[in-house]
Amino acid sequence: MTTFTKRLLTAIIIVLVGALAFYPKLKPLLAPKPDEKAATGGGKPGGDAKGGGKASVDVMVVNMQSLDEKILTTGTIIPNEEVEVRSEISGRVTGIFFKEGQYVKKDAVLLRINDADLQAQLQKLLSNKQLAETNESRQKRLLEKEAISRQEYDIAQTNLNGILADIENLKVQISKTVIRAPFDGTIGLRYISSGSYISPASRIATLTNTNPAKLDFSVPAKYAQLVRQGSKIQFLVEGSSRQYGGTVYAVETKVDPETRSLLLRAVSPNNDRTLVPGAFARINVVLNSHGNAIVVPTEAIIPEQAGQKVFVVRNRKAESVPVEIGLRNDRTVEIRSGLHVGDSLITAGTQLVKPGGEVDIRNLN
């Protein structure tokens, strides 16, 4: 080992020993001053109330709201009336009198089937009817003169009655060649064309009436005694933020033993036809209405050993207020005492505040 290397190692060792010896005395001088630590929020982003800074909170102004006891469920929109348009007889289509998506009135003609053969049969029966009426009239006069037996007259009368019955039956068959709308509604897609040969198995189109709309939904069996005809519902459908209302008008007579739920059906006005059959609906069933009350978000309630409390803002400072709660659901809680209309309630950021601490209101609802 060279002389230079020995001297270098010796210098490094001396420096390290000196640093270790003097570090405890230099440590207090390197620590941040207390006022600098407070200015930076105690090392925490934003600085909370416990570190001396203002706590950022969301606030809502307390007011009276309608308080309803509700249960949340889901359901499906169904039409008021719906039918697959089919023919009662077989034949060739001679005319189609509707367009796909068209709104039609009750008894509007939708389709005609060729009835030429039936009309010919009818004309033949009408001719036979005239002959039978003439024969029956003649036999009746002869019977009155006792020129023939009662049996001979009965044969003539039976022949006439049979022809009359055949005429009525044929007229019914002819009426079936004209297909009419059974109720007001909208025609869906068409599945046949003019000139097609159709039978009772042939699907022509679907006619749907959606005003009013209906909803099928179910509730747990434990609510069976609370939901009845006339119960009110509120619901939303997918793709829309509009809230609709309805009324329960039919209740199943028994609880489903497999799902332990009760099936109900409600009706809702649908004048603008925005409720489409088959759509998924989120439904609130109103069990009881309790009038107006103070209602606050669930997250604003802070449980403690003696009960519950909330924080309100007064003079830009947080103040703890004990409250008595009432009805609650998954989102809101009724406040029976402790809060008053007009109070500024802290709804978010409660974990950052302390009684008497200053707050910074970032959102006001």
156 vs 131: CA distance, rounded Å: 11
Number of C-alpha atoms within 13 angstroms, CB side, residue 204? 32
Residue 225, Cβ neighbours under 10 Å: how many?
Answer: 8
Q: Which CATH number fits domain 49-66+292-364: 2.40.420.20, 1.20.810.10, 1.10.3720.10, 2.60.40.10?
A: 2.40.420.20
DSSP string, 115-146: -HHHHHHHHHHHHHHHHHHHHHHHHHHHHHTT
217 vs 73: CA distance, rounded Å: 7
209 vs 267: CA distance, rounded Å: 13
293 vs 336: CA distance, rounded Å: 8
Q: Which CATH number fits domain 71-81+212-290: 3.40.630.10, 3.40.50.300, 2.40.30.170, 1.10.8.80?
A: 2.40.30.170
What are residue 353's phi and psi, to 5 degrees?
A: -100, 160
Q: What is the pLDDT along the chain (365 residues), one digit of tens a residue?
A: 566 677 777 778 777 766 666 665 555 555 555 444 444 444 444 444 444 578 888 888 888 877 777 788 999 999 999 999 999 999 999 999 999 999 999 999 999 999 999 999 999 999 999 999 898 888 888 888 888 888 988 898 999 999 999 999 999 999 999 999 999 999 999 999 999 999 999 999 999 999 999 999 999 998 888 888 888 899 999 888 899 999 999 999 999 999 999 999 999 999 988 999 999 999 988 877 767 788 888 888 888 888 888 888 888 888 888 888 887 766 788 888 888 888 888 888 888 888 888 888 887 87
Torsion of CA 108, 114, 116, 117, to 10 degrees: -120
Domain chopping of the chain, boundaries: 49-66+292-364, 71-81+212-290, 85-207
Name the CATH topology of 85-207. Answer: OB fold (Dihydrolipoamide Acetyltransferase, E2P) (2.40.50)
User: 364: Cβ–Cβ under 8 A, 6 or more apart, which residues?
Assistant: 58, 59, 60, 61
* Beta pairing partners, 294: 64, 335
249 vs 229: CA distance, rounded Å: 5
231 vs 288: CA distance, rounded Å: 9
DSSP string, 144-165: HTTSS-HHHHHHHHHHHHHHHH
- Judged by DSSP in three states, 339 sits in coil
Global pTM value: 0.61
The one-letter amino acid at 290: H
